[in-house]
Structure 1
Amino acid sequence: MSFNLDLLLRENIKNLKPYSSARDEFDGEASVMLDANENAYGSPLSQSFNRYPDPLQLAVKQKLSAIKGVSTDRIFLGNGSDEAIDLLFRAFCKPGIDNVILLPPTYGMYEVSANINDIAVRKVTLTPNYQLDIDTIAAAIDAHTKIIFICSPNNPTGNSIRRQDIETILVNFEGIVVLDEAYINYAKQNSFLPSLAEFPNLVVLQTLSKAWGLAALRLGMAFASAEIIQIFNKIKPPYNINQATQTYALEALERVDTVNEWIKETVEERALLVEQLQLIPQVEHITPSDANFVLVRLQQARPLYNHLVSKGIIVRDRSTVTLCEGALRMTVGTPAENQILLAQIKEFYS
């Protein structure tokens, strides 16, 4: 494979002069800050939020670097992973000209972001066991294919994509391969983070929304070569991660042991939930999951979904999604929540 980042990058992005924020113009600590037109008297909150935050979130990246084993110049922080997804389109795809490849069933925001940016989508459906159709993917690629999105563990199916197949795409595709690892903390398969140096066209997405329990903070992570991260930083909004998010993220990242315990309990509860679901005669199939949810194919999926809603139990109806016909996606809850879910499913079928 011949990967050339310069050939992929849009000309207007190459020539872009990024916005220079007040915090970009000096290094170190300052005692009198009169450059950014902030309120010098403070804020009416218990914590001080009158100053603009670090535009590059260095303290958070340093903590993540120690946890993930990735240098800070290979880390981008976004307002959710969705920001990184949008930046990929804006940096590398020419509207109305280029295309990307999606592998349904998969995370819906890839297509939404492509449509917002006027980028054509080529869909290559996963195989019936939710793996990559390598030959069909290869046939879908042309000179204007810039990005392939792979979600592993996959959403909404929960299974991991075979590592060898992902590596095959990375080696043979001259564009960028985005590997979305939002649920990697729950998986047996190892992350691709240690392989960043091996694959210059690899972008790995992760998040603090799932295993770390920080969905409300909207903090996503992209890991890639230093060159790709520089491009992200060039085109992102100057203060894309607010101070409250940075502050709470730093606090959470000190509690790795707590998060690891939650992961262990979630995986155990996942197994118990699957075991109990399999005892229900109307459950036809449960996809083996490496995530914190299970995809369950069962009889009368839509009526069951409506029944659960009427009882205040919200799952995700995936019954109209490609290869997910007749299936509901159920997040693994607390032991008490899982028992309530099971009881209502049994009541519906009784």
Structure 2
Amino acid sequence: MFDINNLLRENIKTLKPYSSARDEYQGEASVFLDANENAFGSPLDQSYNRYPDPLQYDVKMRLSEIKGVPARNIFLGNGSDEAIDILFRSFCNPGVDNVILVPPTYGMYEVSANINDIAIKRVPLTEEYQLNLEGIAEAIDAKTKLIFICSPNNPTGNSMNRDDVETLLANFNGLVVVDEAYINFSRQKTFIQELTEYANLVVLQTLSKAWGLAGLRVGMAFASEEIIEVMNRVKPPYNVNEASQQLALKALQNIDQVNNWIRETLIQRDKLVLELKNFDFVVDIYPSDANFILVKTTDARGIYNFLVGKGIIVRDRSKVELCEGCLRITVGTPDENITLLQTLQDYK
């Protein structure tokens, strides 16, 4: 039976969060003399002299409308990376606990685990890039606190079998973190809809991919109210800046534009796959539910270096477990994709 108190670090259970100036009053105010800000404004066209809303209320309310989940079940962070780090710092005791990763997967899980001195148990995906449930079950022990699952997966692009993820959620007493950074491009539905079914579920999403706001660094975590409350206690008081909040809120009004870009990205992805298959050095192209494709080649490093020399940057994943010989190629604009294909015609 999942019990958050069995997972929380003892110091987090008793943690008294920093109380910011804006946390200490209720109601409306027009004169702010509490936070030692510059009262005269900012040397910019728009003033940013006031600290931002520490809990990003307006952005969360808009996300609540879009995602169909209460605002109290939403955490906003400085990118999804902050949410990942806070999960480690809240639930994993350094030098004691461990987490399970399923490579090949997003590299920041391992980096964050190493920063927080948390042991890693690796259970590689199957040859079909799906979860090895038997291997995961064998790896779990009394000190396993988190399992990270990226779906659609980076760098392979495929979605994980939904039944397999639900099997873990139903049988693991720690947190199952489902990273859905690329969910907008997927045929699968989001796991956000399962929050009421699984108390140990955390879903990560981002505004960096389909929403085109990578430069603003706004990540999201969706979970039970008690998990979100813990994350809000651990985070820095003003972790999402005012400019990011304002611009994110403005962007979240433009769903039609984003949906048009998603449709065009999927069209361009299919075209890119068809064209790449014509090259002799392409061995395989794996099915993708993301805005990128994983391409197995005869000489990944050579092709990568050739493209760099032409000013075209893709990602060499050939040294990643189960991705030998592979390049990860993001789907670009029609013109960018044509430039890539025309350039590859000159590769010998």
TM-score by length of 1: 0.99
Alpha-carbon distance in 2 for matches of 1:346, 1:28: 65
* 2:269 matches 1:308: no
Where has structure 1 moved over 2 Å in runs of 4 or more?
A: none
- Give the match for residue 13 of structure 1: 12
Query: Structure 2 matches for 1:154-169, cutoff 5 A?
Result: 154-169=153-168
**2: CA distance, partners of 1:55 / 1:214:** 20
Q: Partners in 2 of 1:74 and 1:205 — Cα distance?
A: 12
2:86 is matched with 87
Q: Give 1:323 deviation, angstroms.
A: 0.4
Residues in 1 aligned to 2:26 and 2:260: alpha-carbon distance in whole angstroms: 39
Query: 1:300, CA displacement in angstroms?
Result: 1.1
Whichever residue aligns with residue 207 of structure 1, its letter is: T
Residues 22-101 of structure 1: pairs in structure 2 closer than 5 A: 22-101=21-100
1:307 corresponds to which letter in structure 2?
A: F
What is the alpha-carbon distance in structure 1 between the residues aligned to residue 343 and residue 98 of structure 2?
A: 44
Write out per-residue CA displacement over residues 133-187 of structure 1, whole angstroms, 9 at most, x where no aligned residue: 0000000000000000000000000000000000001001000000000000000
Residue 134 of structure 2 corresponds to residue 135 of structure 1: yes
Deviation of 1:296 after TM superposition, in Å, equals 0.1
Q: How far apart, CA to CA, are the structure 1 residues paired with 2:286 and 2:136?
A: 23
Structure 2 match to 1:323: 322
2:263 aligned residue:
264
How many residue pairs get aligned? The number is 348
Q: Equivalent residue of 1:347, what SS?
A: coil
Q: Residue by residue, what CA displacement relative to the aligned partner does 1:71-129 show, whole Å, maximum 9, x if unpaired?
A: 00000000000000000000000000000000000000000000000000000000001
1:206 partner letter: Q
The alpha-carbon deviation at position 28 of structure 1 amounts to: 2.6
Deviation of 1:301 (Å):
1.0
How much does 1:299 deviate? 1.2
Equivalent residue for 1:222? 221
* Structure 2 runs not aligned, ≥5 long: none
Distance in 2 between the 1:327 and 1:194 partners? 34
Q: What is the alpha-carbon distance in structure 2 between the residues aligned to residue 55 and residue 174 of structure 1?
A: 31
Q: Deviations over 1:235-257 (max 9, x none)?
A: 10000000000000011000000
Distance 2:17 2:102 in 1: 33
Match of 2:341 in 1: 342
Secondary structure of 1:308 counterpart: helix
Give the letter aligned to residue 102 of structure 1: L
Deviation at 1:210, TM superposition (A): 0.1
Q: Which residue of structure 1 aligns with residue 211 of structure 2?
A: 212
Aligned-partner Cα distance in 1 for 2:289–2:26: 43
What are the superposed Cα offsets for residues 171-227 of structure 1, whole Å, 9 maximum, x if unpaired?
010000000000000000110111101000000000000000000000000000000
Query: Structure 2: how far apart are the matches of 1:345 and 1:171?
Result: 47
Aligned to 1:187: 186
Aligned pairs (5 A) from 1:288-307: 288-307=287-306
SS at match of 2:293: strand
**CA distance in structure 1 between the partners assigned to 2:346 and 2:189 by the alignment:** 39
Could you say what secondary structure the match of 1:101 adopts?
Answer: strand
- Residue in 1 aligned with 2:104? 105
SS at 1:41's partner residue?
coil
- Displacement of 1:320 in angstroms is 0.5
TM-score (norm 2): 0.99
Find the aligned partners of 2:346 and 2:69 in 1 and give their Cα distance.
Answer: 49
What amino acid maps onto 2:37 in structure 1?
E
**Whole-angstrom distance in 2 between the partners of 1:276 and 1:65:** 40
For 2:59 and 2:177, the matched residues in 1 are separated by: 23
Task: Give 1:27 shift.
Answer: 2.4
The corresponding residue for 2:277 is 278
Equivalent residue number for residue 253 of structure 1: 252
Q: Distance in 1 between matches of 2:232 and 2:46?
A: 28
Which SS does the other structure have where 2:75 is aligned? Answer: strand
Identity of aligned residues (%): 66
For residues 240 and 28 of structure 1, what CA distance do their matches in structure 2 show? 22
Amino acid at match of 1:138: A
AA aligned to 1:338 is N
Distance 1:134 1:321 in 2: 21
- SS of corresponding position for 2:136: helix
Structure 1: how far apart are the matches of 2:146 and 2:189?
A: 23
Give the whole-Å Cα distance in 1 for the aligned partners of 2:347 and 2:105. Answer: 29
Q: Distance in 2 between matches of 1:174 and 1:7?
A: 9
